[in-house]
Structure 1
Amino acid sequence: MPLYDYHCKSCGPFEMWHSMAETQKPKACPDCELAATRIFTAPNISLSSSSLLAKVGSPDPRIIKRQGEPAKPKNQSAKQGSRPWMLGHAAERL
Structure 2
Amino acid sequence: MPLYDYRCSDCGDFEQWLQISDLDLPIHCSSCNQVAIRLISAPNISLNMGRFPQRDLTPKVVTRKEMSPPPARFQQAKAGRPWMVSHAPARY
Give the TM-score of the pair, scaled to structure 2.
0.53
Other-structure match for 1:16: 16
Aligned AA for 1:30?
Answer: S
Matched, 1:25 2:9: no
The equivalent residue for 1:51 is 52
Q: CA RMSD in A?
A: 1.8
Structure 1 stretches of 4+ with a deviation exceeding 4 A read none
Greater CA radius of gyration, 1 or 2?
A: 2
Gap runs ≥5 in structure 2: 56-92
Instruction: Specify whether residues 28 and 48 from structure 1 end up closer, same or farther in structure 2 by C-alpha distance, changes over 3 A only.
Output: same
Please give the TM-score of this superposition, normalised by the length of structure 1.
0.52
1:3 aligns with 2:6: no
Percentage of matched positions with identical amino acids: 43
Paired residue total: 54
What stretches of structure 1 of length at least 5 have no aligned partner? 55-94
Q: What do the CA deviations read for 1:48-91 (whole angstroms, capped 9, x no partner)?
A: 1442887xxxxxxxxxxxxxxxxxxxxxxxxxxxxxxxxxxxxx
